[in-house]
Amino acid sequence: METPDRSRPYLERAYLDHAASAPLYPEVVSVMQEALLELHANPTGMHSSARAAKTALEEARERIATLLGCLPHEVVFTGGGTESDNLAVKGVMRGVLGDAIARGDLSGVVVSVIEHRAMIAPAARLASEGARVAFAPVTSEGIIDLDRLSALLDEQTAFVSVMAVNNEIGTRQPLGEVLSLVRERSPRAALHTDAVQAPMWMDPKEFMLCDLVTVTGHKVGGPRGIGVLVVRDGVKLVAEIEGGGQERGVRAGTPDVAAAVALALALEITVARRDETATRVRALRDRLISGVIASVPDVVLVGSDSARVDGFAPFALAGIESESLLVLLDRAGVDAAAGSSCASGATEPSHVLTALGVDPKFIGGALRCSLGWSTTADEVDHMIKVLPEAVNRLRALRVERPAAEVTL
């Protein structure tokens, strides 16, 4: 068998896993390479080399603030989306829980049930530290149920998190309505949104209305290992990583200057080309969906047709296991996913699909295809070509067994 050339993978294979990690824009690679070489000094020094690094870092911060529409000092650089989410919920709640008077009065945390695990796991830990944690349900289309959210919010709620776009099914959430509800029912609460999947498909204004916003580099054509937590003025936050006082005392550690510079450029490109990319990707995505529906029986599209952002095609197939399908697709030259990348390794059904109440017949066969700036028609067509055969093979292998008889 011929070994595929791995040096330029996205020209050789169909890479339909943008929501897990998008390729870097070539311009970003060049800028980052230059920054790695030139901006090597620790930006906290007083000498010229340090000042050059510091200037580049602060310019990156200003450019990101301009793009997002906030003040530069509201942009906190972190080690990525997971860290930003952890910092948001723990940072707000540790401040409250550490204060005996506030604690009794303001201990509520409400997060949507379809949040990324980077929000669900720290919220669950806070529950063991004395916070009252509630998970807000979603509709069968994967959109937050505003009435039931409202019922969970009260005067004692300190922190609310609803993601801008879900990472498994691509549904955008009605953040404006969520914000109004939170302000009305829980006037002292900070509203956070995990917007890592959003900048490619939405105007930043649509998610920047929240008090805290998570953005990450590797979903927007930038590098990994860098993220942002926007902390709007007035939000009190306790640091999660300490010892150095960087990032205004909210996030210690030597700043990753090259990655910050690369993130600023990646966000600029993403925002500048958004309309063009979204239009092109939407056409490709729709072609993928109609191609798959036409050639594969017993497949459904999960989530909401009206609220789904352009890069997502979240399928669920009856009668197969995601993991086996991904292996066959991989051998046929397609990189796709089951659900959240961070859940890989675990084989239990996705908490998102479970929350939507997806038919058990389909739930084990989740297939998330996610498209982005580098996706081509060839990649989509390749997927449409190889998927039916992979699905048929797996379904043919599956022996329909009657339920085992149990004798006691």
Question: Per the structure block, which two tokens stand in for 91?
Answer: 């940072």
Interface with other proteins includes 351 (CB under 8 A)? no
Nearer to other proteins among residue 185 and residue 199 (C-beta): 199
C-alpha 251/C-alpha 244 separation (Å) is 8
Main-chain phi, psi angles of 305, to 5 degrees: -65, -35
Question: According to CB under 8 A, which one of 61, 65, 68, 83 is a site residue for other proteins?
Answer: 83
Minimum distance, C-beta of residue 357 to other proteins, in the bound complex (Å): 24
Instruction: Please report, as a single letter, which amino acid is at residue 165.
Output: V
Interface with other proteins includes 118 (CB under 8 A)? yes
Task: Match 């300190």 to its residue by tokens.
Answer: 158
What are the helix (H) ranges across 129-223?
146-152, 175-185
Interface with other proteins includes 353 (CB under 8 A)? no
Question: According to CB under 8 A, which one of 56, 82, 96, 383 is a site residue for other proteins?
Answer: 82
Interface with other proteins includes 85 (CB under 8 A)? yes
Interface with other proteins includes 168 (CB under 8 A)? no
Instruction: Please report, as a single letter, which amino acid is at residue 306.
Output: S
- Binders of other proteins in range 303-332 (CB under 8 A): 323, 326-327, 329-330
70 is catalytic: no
Minimum distance, C-beta of residue 177 to other proteins, in the bound complex (Å): 26
Task: Match 């509203």 to its residue by tokens.
Answer: 191
Interface with other proteins includes 45 (CB under 8 A)? yes
Minimum distance, C-beta of residue 194 to other proteins, in the bound complex (Å): 10
Interface with other proteins includes 372 (CB under 8 A)? no
Nearer to other proteins among residue 108 and residue 221 (C-beta): 221
Question: According to CB under 8 A, which one of 74, 206, 211, 256 is a site residue for other proteins?
Answer: 256
Task: Return all residues near 121 (Cβ < 8 A) that are at least 6 apart.
Answer: none
C-alpha 344/C-alpha 359 separation (Å) is 21
- Binders of other proteins in range 98-117 (CB under 8 A): 98, 116-117
Q: What is the 3-state secondary structure (H, E, C) of 59-81?
A: HHHHHHHHHHCCCHHHEEEECCH
- Angle of helix 322-331 relative to helix 377-397, nearest 10 degrees, comes to 130
Question: According to CB under 8 A, which one of 109, 120, 189, 231 is a site residue for other proteins?
Answer: 120
- Binders of other proteins in range 122-161 (CB under 8 A): 122, 125
Question: Per the structure block, which two tokens stand in for 405?
Answer: 């008889």
Interface with other proteins includes 166 (CB under 8 A)? no
Nearest to 77 by CA among 207, 219, 235, 217: 217
- Binders of other proteins in range 376-395 (CB under 8 A): none
- Binders of other proteins in range 214-253 (CB under 8 A): 218, 223-226, 239-246, 252-253
Task: Return all residues near 301 (Cβ < 8 A) that are at least 6 apart.
Answer: 289, 293, 313, 314, 315, 316
Point out the residues that are catalytic.
Answer: 342
